[in-house]
Chains A and B, each alone.
Chain A
Amino acid sequence: MATMQEVAAIPSDRFGPFGGRYVPETLIPALDELTAAYEAIKTDAAFQAELNGLLQSFVGRETPLGFAPRLSERVGAPVWLKREDLCHTGAHKINNALAQVLLAIRMGKRRIIAETGAGQHGVATATVCAKFGLECVVYMGEEDMHRQSLNVFRMQLLGARVVPVTGGTRTLKDATSEAIRDWVTNVERSHYIIGSVVGPAPYPRMVRDFHACIGHESREQMLRIAGRLPKTVVACVGGGSNAMGIFHAFVPDADVQLVGVEAAGEGVLTGRHSATLSSGTPGVLHGSLSLLLQDENGQVHPAHSISAGLDYPGVGPEHAFMKTTGRAEYVAVTDDSALRGVALLSRLEGIIPALETAHGVAWICDNAGRWATDEPVLLCVSGRGDKDVGTMMQHPIMEIE
């Protein structure tokens, strides 16, 4: 029997009004099972030891915190980079994929389902499945398969089956729906590894916790190396996992500003964007109540971004909550600015960032002057840009002045 304390310790399935479990009835027992398994591993020393060991030896944690001298000069404030791009497979996504695969094995599920947009979550999941010999099925929108063909091949090389999704807008939104449909159909032997802090409870909290190492490491590294906490923490927001991962440890530090950078696409006013937090309204998609891009009839509005990983009309419920409470600030950066962000980080620091990350770079540069010369800015470099080179090649190389 659970004691009162234990009952109280089970986290609610909401963040203020946001979150919840808006899914077909068929999935409720699976979500209950997952919640119980997740609560159990939190205090399971053997599980944590295995996870931490693999985060070190397989993923390459802890990732470095590096000072960016030339970027800092341009911004007029010290900029620090948390190098998630140096994680195995090239992005933060593997923190979550690894932890969830270990959890799935605990639950006796040897078939893994994932959705992917940029392909980074798909590659991370395929990688860990290969390592543990699990069956892996990845749903990917047909349009994203073209944009990110390199990652499609990587997943296939790793032994995953990549299923093209041809419904709707053929991007991440539809891939997520299709992954959920697969889960409803094969729920008894499959685990669904969702790739961001979205979906029904317990996913948003669980995925956040699996990425919280980013913020815990950064906070300790800032204190140790920079000698103080950052003034501002900046991260790009698609579903919001790298942002929640780096924000979480800083939430109690009231003086630390948290800034999430969304994709403004061709401009928020054009309607072709993915700036859910900036311009969305409350709605239910993929199992949770959050902010959503939608029309007056409650139909989901197609998102747009040059970066497949940000091209999503929803966002994690905890971000919607932090926007409402004002704990975090959310801004948006256009496709063009993101391309400039790529050029800036490449030319100034020798790091070709993912297009997603480049949104954060661009926002920091566009806001030079916001910080005093001794106020550090911490950027989560969520991923490296190799996967985006094909997209970048369609645009002239930007010169930076």
Chain B
Amino acid sequence: MTSGTATQLTMHMDALRTSGRKALVAYITAGHPDRARSAELLKGLEAAGVDCVELGVPFSDPLADGPVIQRSSQIALEQGMNFDGALQMVRDAALTIPVVLFSYLNPVMNAGPDALQRAADAGVSGILITDLPVGADPEREAWLGASPLAYVRLVAPTTPASRMAEIGRNGSGFVYLISRLGVTGAQDSLAGDLPETIERLRSVTTLPICVGFGISTADQAALVGEMADGVVVGSAIVKLAETSVDAALALVRALRAGLDTCED
């Protein structure tokens, strides 16, 4: 993929939905556990069956993240990872699947007014900012909305239906549904009200819905895949990547297999 655009992510996600394949979205932190292994992991994700990568641009104060991603962010920062370092990784990996940057507003804002164009030029398709909810900052949201990147927005279990509709209108690519109250990190069980939350969201948006936060096993992925268009797995992959890229990729393959059992 040479130049990323919103349309690329949108077309890719729509094509998956049409074909009945559930999207496997994998989060990894750029530069963790070090640059070489992070690059190896990024390249490996595609062959392991991932449909879209969320590449974390680390922030010093990740208040939406649990212990695993806090630690991976700190390690990546200690090794000098930054916004343009993440873009370089995307350029070098030359994946055919879309890459969405996942970060917080401060590091993205500080990367300069042309940061989003630079990201698109590097082959990034979309961006997601965890601490910029709909309506929080019209000026910066307009900046993100007008960029060549798809603007992936988050919906939480606490989001009322009227707000869900607004989020649907303001986002593109797909909607990221947070599966439960809390921060990122593996959980033993899924939130009981997840099916209803997905239904509520479906009734107000036509965007594909990917569910994340807390999903760590193939069984959970399969369960969620029955209800949603895709799943996002982060902490479980990052935790394994701390010690072994191979182990992380083995989990990704298992998640793929789990998702492929879903009937559409």
Contact = CB atoms under 8 A, between A and B. Distances in A.
Given A181-B183, A300-B61, A22 B70 contact: no
B125 to A, nearest CB: 22
A374 interface: no
Given A168-B74, A283-B109, A30 B61 contact: no
Contacts of A398: none
A29 B110 contact: no
Given A284-B131, A297-B83, A20 B137 contact: yes
A205 interface: no
B37 to A, nearest CB: 21
A300 B60 contact: yes
Contact of A29 (B108, B111, B160): B160
Interface in B91-149: 104-111, 130-134, 136-137
Contacts of B70: 167
B110 A298 contact: yes
Nearest to B134: A25
A297 B157 CA distance: 32
B182 A185 contact: yes
A227 interface: no
A125 B110 CA distance: 36
Given A21-B133, A184-B181, A298-B106, A177 B61 contact: yes
A28 B158 contact: yes
A286 B105 CA distance: 11
A173 B70 CA distance: 14
Interface residues of A, number: 36
B183 A297 contact: no
Interface string B191-214: 000000000000000000000000
Contacts of B67: 167
A187 interface: yes
Q: Is the interface of B mostly helix, strand, loop or mixed?
A: loop
B49 interface: no
B151 interface: no
Given A21-B133, A24-B131, A187 B159 contact: no
A25 B156 contact: yes
A124 B134 CA distance: 35
Contacts of B181: 26, 184-188
B64 A24 contact: yes
Interface in A22-41: 22-30
Interface in A155-206: 167-168, 173-174, 177, 180-181, 184-188
Contacts of B63: 23-24, 177, 180-181, 184, 286
Contact of A298 (B109, B156, B159): B109
Contacts of A292: 106
B77 interface: yes
Contacts of B82: 297, 299
A294 B156 contact: no
A285 to B, nearest CB: 6
Contacts of A283: 106, 109-110
Contacts, number: 117
Nearest to B82: A297
A124 to B, nearest CB: 23
B136 A22 contact: yes
A296 interface: yes
Given A24-B133, A284-B131, A181 B110 contact: no
B178 interface: yes
B43 to A, nearest CB: 25
A294 B136 contact: no
A286 B60 CA distance: 12
A203 to B, nearest CB: 14
A22 B160 contact: no
A24 B65 CA distance: 10
A25 B105 contact: no
A168 B137 contact: no
A285 B61 CA distance: 8
A371 B220 CA distance: 70
Contacts of B61: 168, 173-174, 177, 285-286, 300
A284 B106 contact: yes
A23 B64 CA distance: 8
A397 to B, nearest CB: 38
A22 B159 CA distance: 16
Contacts of A21: 133, 136
A25 B133 contact: yes
A25 B178 contact: yes
Contacts of B59: 298-299
B249 interface: no
Contact of A294 (B106, B132, B133, B182): B106
A28 B163 contact: yes
Contacts of B258: none
A30 B158 contact: yes
A184 B109 contact: no
B55 interface: no
5 contacts: A24-B131, A181-B63, A181-B66, A284-B131, A298-B110
Given A25-B154, A26-B178, A181-B66, 8 more contacts: A24-B178, A25-B158, A181-B183, A185-B181, A185-B182, A188-B158, A298-B108, A299-B59
Interface of A: 20-30, 167-168, 173-174, 177, 180-181, 184-188, 283-287, 289, 292, 294, 296-300
For the complex of A and B, the 8 pairs showing the least CB-CB separation, nearest first, are: A298-B110, A26-B156, A185-B182, A298-B107, A299-B60, A298-B106, A297-B82, A25-B156
